[in-house]
Amino acid sequence: MTDHAGLVSAAGAVQRRQIYADPAVYEQELERIFGRCWLFLVHESQIPQPGDFFRTFMGEDDVLVVRQKDGSIKAFLNTCTHRGNRLCRADRGNARAFACNYHGWAFGTDGALVNVPLEKDAYFNEIDKTRFGLVEVDQVASYKGLVFGCFDKNAPSLSEYLGDMKWYLDVWLDAQPGGTALIGETQKVELMTNWKLPVENVCGDGYHLGWAHAGAMKAVQSMDFSGFTVGNASVDLEGGLSIAGLNGHSLLATVDGVSGYSFYPDNAGILRYLEQNRPTAIERLGRQRGEKLWGSQLNLTVFPNLQFLPGLNWFRVYHPKGPGRIEQWSWAMVENAMPDDIKQRILDNQLLTFGPAGLFDNDDGDNLAACTEQSSGWRTRQIDVHTNMALGRSGPRPGFPGDIAVGVVSEHNQRYFYRRWQEHMAARNWRQVPQYNLNPLAGDEALADAG
Amino acid sequence: MPADTRVMLPVDQHLALTQQLYCEARLLDGERYADWLDLLAEDVRYQLPLTSRRFRADRSAALAVGPGYVFDDDKARLELRIQRLESGLVWAEDPRNSARRIVSNVEIYQVETDREAQVYSVVDIHRSRIDAQQRRLTAARTDRWRCEGGVWRLVSRLIQFDHPVVIDSNLNVFF
């Protein structure tokens, strides 16, 4: 076990580069973060029918998520219980059963072993098939369409795990009747980066936008980047918040109610959708969220590796594949209440901006890879990296849970991300993991609405 | 259309169009994007659909709003991508990287439409970006080319990408 006390400073403002490259640190992450936290599996919209399955990963563990005959969802390790072969090689689809390629053991969609070839001739009918069902993921639960799995029986419930972040998640997941969906096929990209770097890039790093994406911002003049200038010459901090201190979850939020969709070229249709449906959002969420957050650009992060961005409408999970490699999986996300032409436009725009050939996404991969590589040299790895921007400038804000810094250009959220990372890495079990939802709402929302 | 009923172009046109494919690869390798745009018809459609790996016997319903496209570009959008690459602000392409396109398995057939040809080819893109890093991307292409005033121009390209996971940190390339 690595001593983690020195890897992240107490305030979370300094990280040792070792944490991005050290195989021992990575092994411990697989156990204490990916083996312990609730991890995103699938959106319910992706497996609507009985027998629908989706193949994904929890850490490096290959997992098969299957819709059951009764409509519930189960998740299994994607491995034959006989000799360990990968059971399912398809990405997704619909199946009545899964037969192993190797010896033909077949499992029902409920994970039960239903057929063993030569059961009579070679096993002499002595095999107890009930002992060899697929290994189930210990806990599976949904939150408003998002299905999560957890390998730790002693983990808090998904609802407790998400804590006050649910209040923010609802801005997307529950603003309109009918909920949300992920659309299009999975967009998979291999990046030679440590998994923590894309998470922190999106959870708190508004700083890179004007510089790293300068080429795209200059070319895409139809998009409105209010508050940012190409080349990072200046930034307007008004109108944005960095929100963290929620069990390691966080968000960046603009609070003007329209700025997210103003990134779209030809955005009249979607702005009209917001205008027409905002009364419903206010009715369901209250004025604070319905007016200020619904429709705004939000960067939502559920610790450890799930991020989704209402406004740019991408939904993304990072699967670790070793200390210096990930698979980044993305989809476009929509509200089911949206008309089909808006859904199609969102899918198209998400792919244009943050797809595998996205005008913005194609700026990030090399930066993340180089930050990882520059953590592996013997001398280089002994130095630190810094997230000390606007340190000590956060606090409560009436009506919003969390510890909040003004502006989306800040390193406030990264500090909380690394604090949470260290808490998990140091804890031997869930009892040692602190739970904190700073400045919980209590009755503040009514107060803010009245004000 | 079964292969044996396909009609080949006259040999001189076949040769000219084959040369055009090689020329196109050289222009893209040399980042001569303005010259490449000149090879494209005004109504060009340039597409790379997303796919997933499914069992042959899969009975799933079709996706509600389609699979989506990595590229689904008309000429204006290709110009937008090129403006970004030529902005001088795309740091991942500075210093300049090298890409070498090998175009092969070229088949060219006449189509009913006046002055158009259906062209099948394979492109093998070798990218050399940082230090010893090498990436190799392969795709099959189904093109429609049109002869306009003696010049062949690309009308449509459907790219069948061979990698379920994109094995590079960006796709700042055209296929």
Task: List chain B residues with CB under 8 Å of A361.
Answer: 170
Q: What is the pLDDT of residue A450?
A: 44
Whether B55 and chain A come into contact, CB under 8 Å, resolves to yes
Greatest alpha-carbon pair distance for chain A in Å reads 78
Helix (H, G, I), strand (E, B) or coil at B79: helix
Whether A95 and chain B come into contact, CB under 8 Å, resolves to yes
The tokens 């259906």 sit on which residue?
Answer: B118
DSSP A45: G
Within 10 angstroms of residue B94's Cβ, the number of other Cβ atoms is 10
Q: Measure the CA–CA gap between A101 and A80, rounded to whole angstroms.
A: 9
User: A347 vs B59: CB contact, 8 Å cut-off?
Assistant: no
pTM of the model: 0.95
Q: CA nearest A410: which of A196, A253, A265, A231?
A: A253
| A129-132 long-range Cβ contacts below 8 angstroms, 24+ apart | A132/A81, A132/A82, A132/A105
Determine the residue of chain A that is closest to B170 in CA distance: A362
> Which active-site residues of A does the annotation give?
103, 205, 208, 213, 364
DSSP A434: -
Task: Using alpha carbons, list the distances in angstroms from residue B74 to A352, B71, B157.
Answer: 12, 9, 11
Task: List chain A residues with CB under 8 Å of B164.
Answer: 91, 188
Rounded to 5, what percent of chain A is helix, strand, coil? 30, 25, 40
Strand ranges in A144-268 using DSSP code E only, listed in sequence order: 146-150, 180-191, 240-246, 249-254
What tokens does A384 get?
A: 């630190």
pLDDT digits (tens, 9 = 90+) for B103-135: 999 999 999 877 899 999 999 999 998 899 999
Helices A268-285, A340-354: crossing angle, 10 deg rounding: 110
**Residues near A211 by Cβ (< 8 Å), separated by ≥ 6?**
A231, A232
For residue A74, the cross-strand partners are: A66
Question: By the 8 A CB rule, do B76 and B45 touch?
Answer: no
Q: Measure the CA–CA gap between A353 and A261, rounded to whole angstroms.
A: 12
Whether B102 and chain A come into contact, CB under 8 Å, resolves to no
State the smallest CA–CA distance between residue B103 and chain A in angstroms: 21
Q: Is A441 exposed, middle or buried (0-12, 13-18, 19+ CB in 10 A)?
A: middle
Whether A93 and chain B come into contact, CB under 8 Å, resolves to yes
Amino acid letter at A431?
R
Helices A361-373, A196-203: crossing angle, 10 deg rounding: 130
The answer on pLDDT for B56 being more than 70 is yes
How far from the centroid of its chain's Cα atoms is residue B159's Cα? 6
Of the partner residues A351, A362, A367, the one whose CB lies closest to the CB of residue B69: A351
Question: By the 8 A CB rule, do A283 and A272 touch?
Answer: no
User: A215 vs B54: CB contact, 8 Å cut-off?
Assistant: no
- Whole-number percent of chain B with pLDDT over 90: 84
Strands B151-161 and B40-49: parallel
Q: Is A154 exposed, middle or buried (0-12, 13-18, 19+ CB in 10 A)?
A: exposed
Of the partner residues A48, A215, A352, the one whose CB lies closest to the CB of residue B90: A215
Helix, strand counts (H, E) of chain B: 3, 6
Q: Measure the CA–CA gap between B9 and A450, rounded to whole angstroms.
A: 76
State the smallest CA–CA distance between residue B80 and chain A in angstroms: 6
Question: By the 8 A CB rule, do B110 and B8 touch?
Answer: yes
A-B contacts at Cβ under 8 angstroms = 144
User: B60 vs A215: CB contact, 8 Å cut-off?
Assistant: no
Determine the residue of chain A that is closest to B164 in CA distance: A188
Task: List chain A residues with CB under 8 Å of B77.
Answer: 352
User: A215 vs B64: CB contact, 8 Å cut-off?
Assistant: no
CA dihedral in degrees (A23, A371, A381, A320; nearest 10)? -10
Residue B7 phi/psi, 5° resolution?
A: -105, 125
Question: By the 8 A CB rule, do A364 and A356 touch?
Answer: no
Q: What is the pLDDT of residue A443?
A: 46
Whether B48 and chain A come into contact, CB under 8 Å, resolves to yes
Q: Identify the H or E element spanning A113.
A: strand A113-115
Of the partner residues B55, B80, B81, the one whose CB lies closest to the CB of residue A90: B55
List alpha helices for B10-141, DSSP H.
11-29, 33-38, 75-85
Task: List chain B residues with CB under 8 Å of A93.
Answer: 54-55, 58, 60
Tens-digit pLDDT string for chain A (451 aa): 566 778 999 888 999 999 999 999 999 999 999 999 999 999 999 999 999 999 999 999 999 999 999 999 999 999 999 999 999 999 999 999 999 999 999 999 999 999 999 999 999 999 999 999 999 999 999 999 999 999 999 999 999 999 999 999 999 999 999 999 999 999 999 999 999 999 999 999 989 988 999 999 888 876 655 556 666 667 777 779 999 999 999 999 998 887 778 777 778 889 999 999 999 999 999 999 999 999 999 999 999 999 999 999 999 999 999 999 999 999 999 999 999 999 999 999 999 999 999 999 999 999 999 999 999 999 999 999 999 998 999 999 988 999 999 998 999 999 999 999 999 999 999 999 999 999 987 545 554 554 4
Helices A412-426, A196-203: crossing angle, 10 deg rounding: 140
**Residues near A165 by Cβ (< 8 Å), separated by ≥ 6?**
A246, A247, A249, A251, A300, A302
| Residue of B33, B59, B65, B94 to mutate, testing the A interface (most A Cβ within 10 Å of its Cβ) | B65
Q: What is the pLDDT of residue A239?
A: 79
Question: By the 8 A CB rule, do A75 and A68 touch?
Answer: no
- For A22, half-sphere exposure in the C-beta direction (CA atoms, 13 angstrom radius) is 17
User: A215 vs B51: CB contact, 8 Å cut-off?
Assistant: no
